Chains A and B, each alone.
Chain A
Amino acid sequence: MNDDSWTGFLAARTPELGAKLVEHLWWLTFLPMLLAGLLGVPLGIRLARMPRLRSLLLAGVGVIQTVPSLAMLALLLALFGRIGKPPAIVALALYALLPIVRNTVTGLAGVPGAVIEAAEGLGFSRRQRLWWVELPLALPVILAGVRTATVICVGIATLSTFIGAGGLGDLINRGLATSNVRLVVLGAGAAAALALTLDGALGLAEGWLAPGKPPPRLRWKTALFGTSIVLLAGAGWWSRPVPATTVVEGVGEARPTIRIGSKNFTEQLILGELLAQLLEADGRFTVERVFNLGGTIICHQALLNGEIDLYPEYTGTALTTLLNEPVPDEPSRVGRMVRRAYAERFDCRWLDPFGFDNTYALTVPRALADQYGWRSISDLQAAAGDLRAGFTSEFRERADGYPGLQRAYGFQFGDVRDLGPELMYAAAAGGEVDVICAFATDGRIAAYELQVLEDDRGFFPPYQAAPVVREDVIEAHAGLAERLNRLAHQLDDATMRRLNFEVDEDGQEPAAVAQEFLRRRGLL
């Protein structure tokens, strides 16, 4: 672990924390809530007047809320066909809908019958009755719904990092991806504080808005106005450009921006940083980092949509997950197959490989391997029924994962659990599972005294890593491909494992590790 003090850590992270907080507050809380309010309150008003439709539609809105958040994000991602804020905002708005609609209906139903009768007797039109009587009286209840929805929204918004929507989830996700507990605590703590603050503020507003109490209405209007001004001002201050990220030389001379993506685990973050810093050092490009995207498909879609220009991918993954092709009998052909298919089908180019092969590796605790004499995957045959496996969810589904493995080796494990990639090494070391699907270049294999089993039937295809770039990007930016190819064959398995280890176990930043590597190799 990094032995920097907490204060130092906080000081270093404050500008980023501020930016993420603002992003979380405005894009992932305020905007979805605004959307949900604009949709939910009128819907609630409608439903309050249609008692027969009410239960049906409320149930329908309720079903939305039972959709697991990640599934919802995935669904909307598929629907929008693009990563980023729009699908996240829509997903969050949908979640916020139920409490708002329900409380609007409840609030309107709670308006006393005598008050309605008085309004009718006085000759209020329907619209006047709604705006002058029903809504003001229902407002505290509606606001209570908004309050519930807001707290839910702040929490769920942390998940939208998986589709590249930013926010405090980025810190949490990055912390998880790089085993950086402090970063997780920082992100989660900030999200919790944000939720509590908004809850408190809305609670106050609820009190002010309670009807028939002496404080005149002018005061809450002023208060609400004042609060929003303060929040806006705060946002403006926080989101002011942070110096040192981009120092633009040569005013007015715009350098093209290259958007680099990455998946959400340590190796990808390091590779992303390596590519980014290499381009930045060149001087002809500026770089936008779109890191921590929640999976292979998301990165691929983002690349094809033009939301990112390049990202590091693995040949085996591309073959089985993106091209849906079986692994050929001759594994050495995989690279060529992928290259050709990408050119033909996606108009994308695989640059030269980094040099390492991050294959899946069935891995067991070294003590077990020694005790039972396991050296290859076939050796597990006899014991498999009694073994507990811990696999990532991707591995359990991918053709080059557990499904194919069962067919290739003809056995199943007694118990298989879904584990996050960041958890499985510790789970194996702690004896909670016996077999994991490690990544061959992960530094934690050695650190946790684990043993990689030989793939004696040659089931796993090669997973050679290389940057994948859209062809139009290469054409538009002379020198880009050449520049990036300077990383070709610079990283063998051992080197990559060491860099991963420096992040996962030494607690260093991927950016710092990448910079150190580039400097030592004289690439900067």
Chain B
Amino acid sequence: MTDPDVMIELQGVSKSFDGGRTMAVAGVDLRVPAGQTMVLLGSSGCGKTTTLKMINRLVTPTAGRILVDGTPVDEQDLVTLRRSIGYVFQGIGLFPHLTVEENVAVGLRLRGRPRRDRNARAAELLELVALPPATFANRYPAELSGGQQQRVGVARALAADPALLLMDEPFGALDAVTRESLQQEVLRLKRRLGKTIVFVTHDVFEALTLADRITVMHRGRVEQEGPPEDLLNRPATEFVRDLFARPAARLRRLAPHGDE
């Protein structure tokens, strides 16, 4: 019944945190093709983070169904499900009592992989996120900058080589320069590793930079879903038009000899 090329499918998913009086997420339908980056875009409180967290069951939906790789998530073992999905979020949540290397490899340790394997994998991943292991492997999180910490967070999420990566405003707390460089890093990873990524952000530019497809959410509902050009050029609603008005103007300013 499901398309093999669809990695994630949401069917009429709703969530209320107050017993039905208000809906944080209201009847969302969504399909994320395998290997693509889907950005959930919206202002705070629009339900994008809640939607993301229902995918790895950090939040339980009030109604609807979510399938990952064709299987409903609530029929999968919770621990197994989460271990098969990489998760990166704004709070980072590195384990302060473990070194960088141990943080990256902790997921492998949960699975009882031998130390040598773990260390080799950690070194490989630290290279991938541009933190030379020779310098960083034995440091503690408190000794890193915010940007370095989030790089470790990304490496940790990738350790078990999950096909799916959930990223919840991972760079929201970082300064513009660091954010920019991490966005480039994610693009590079995406090209190299071919992961399916669901990326939550309120930053329109970040969405345009990273997305293969964008879902604009507003008050718990999907306003429009499609490739970035569609949303820029053919906004379906007033809300989407306003959201992209500023970036569109800036694009025009940056390219004065464009098609206008």
Which residues 40-99 of B sit at the A interface, judged by CB distance below 8 A?
56, 58, 78-85, 87, 89, 91-97
B97 touches A122 (CB 8 A): no
Instruction: State the interface size on chain B (CB cutoff 8 A).
Output: 29
Give the interface size bracket for A toward B.
20 to 34
Q: Does A112 contact B (CB under 8 A)?
A: yes
Instruction: Check: A86 CB closer than 8 A to any chain B CB.
Output: no
A212-B102 Cα distance, complex, nearest whole Å: 12
Please pick, from B82, B92, B140, the residue contacting A122 in the complex, using a CB distance under 8 A: B82
Could you tell me if B58 and A123 are in contact, using CB atoms closer than 8 angstroms? no
Task: Closest B residue to A118 by CB, please name it.
Answer: B93
- B107 with A123: CB separation less than 8 A: yes
Among A99-157, those with CB < 8 Å from B are: 112-125, 128, 132-133, 136-137
A133 to B83, CA, bound (A): 17
Which of B87, B110, B142 is close to A121, meaning CB atoms less than 8 Å apart? B87
Which of A114, A122, A212, A214 contacts B91, CB < 8 Å? Answer: A114
Are B95 and A120 closer than 8 Å at their CB atoms?
no
With the chains together, A124 CA to B244 CA distance in Å? Answer: 40
Assess the B106–A132 pair: CB atoms within 8 A.
yes
Q: Which residues of A contact B107 (CB under 8 A)?
A: 122-123
B220 beta carbon closer than 8 Å to chain A: no
A121-B87, A123-B81 known; A137+B94 contact, CB < 8 A: no
Closest A residue, CB atoms, query B109: A132
Closest to A125 in B: B79
A120 touches B58 (CB 8 A): yes
Chain A residue at smallest Cβ distance from B140:
A212
Distance between Cα atoms of A119 and B83 in the complex (Å): 10
Considering only CB atoms, which chain A residue lies closest to B81 in the complex?
A123
User: How far does the alpha carbon of A124 sit from the alpha carbon of B87 in the complex, in Å?
Assistant: 13
A213 touches B140 (CB 8 A): yes
Asked whether A123 and B110 contact (CB < 8 A) given A115-B96, A137-B96, A212-B96, the answer is: yes
Contacts of B80 in A (CB 8 A): 123
Main secondary structure of the interface of A (DSSP, over half): helix
Q: What's the Cα separation between A123 and B94 when bound, in Å?
A: 14
Contact residue among B83, B92, B141 (Cβ-Cβ distance under 8 Å from A123): B83
Q: How far is the CA of A211 from the CA of B143 in the complex (A)?
A: 12
B213 within 8 A of partner (CB): no
Instruction: Find out whether the CB atom of A211 lies under 8 angstroms from the CB atom of B96.
Output: yes
How many Å lie between the Cα of A434 and that of B121 in the bound state?
A: 86
Is B156 part of the binding interface, using a Cβ–Cβ cutoff of 8 Å?
Answer: yes
Residues of B within 8 A of A114 (CB): 89, 91-93
The reply to whether B91 and A117 contact each other, CB–CB distance below 8 Å, is yes
Residues from chain A with Cβ under 8 Å of B78 in the complex: 123
Q: Which residue of B lies closest to A136 (CB)?
A: B97
Q: Which residue of B lies closest to A211 (CB)?
A: B97
Query: Interface 1/0s, chain B 152-174, versus A by CB < 8 A?
Result: 01001100000000100000000
Give the contacting residue for A113; candidates B83, B85, B91, B157; CB below 8 A: B91
Chain A residue, CB-CB nearest to B92: A114
State the A residues within 8 Å of B (CB): 112-125, 128, 132-133, 136-137, 211-214
Give 7 A-B pairs besides A121-B89, A212-B141 with Cβ atoms closer than 8 angstroms: A117-B89, A118-B95, A124-B79, A128-B110, A133-B95, A211-B97, A212-B97
Report the 6 A-B pairs with minimum CB-CB distance, sorted nearest first.
Answer: A118-B93, A114-B91, A211-B97, A121-B87, A123-B82, A123-B83
> What would be 20 A-B contacts, judged by CB atoms less than 8 Å apart?
A112-B93, A113-B91, A114-B92, A114-B93, A115-B96, A118-B87, A118-B89, A118-B92, A119-B95, A121-B56, A121-B85, A121-B87, A122-B107, A123-B107, A125-B79, A128-B110, A137-B97, A212-B141, A212-B142, A213-B142
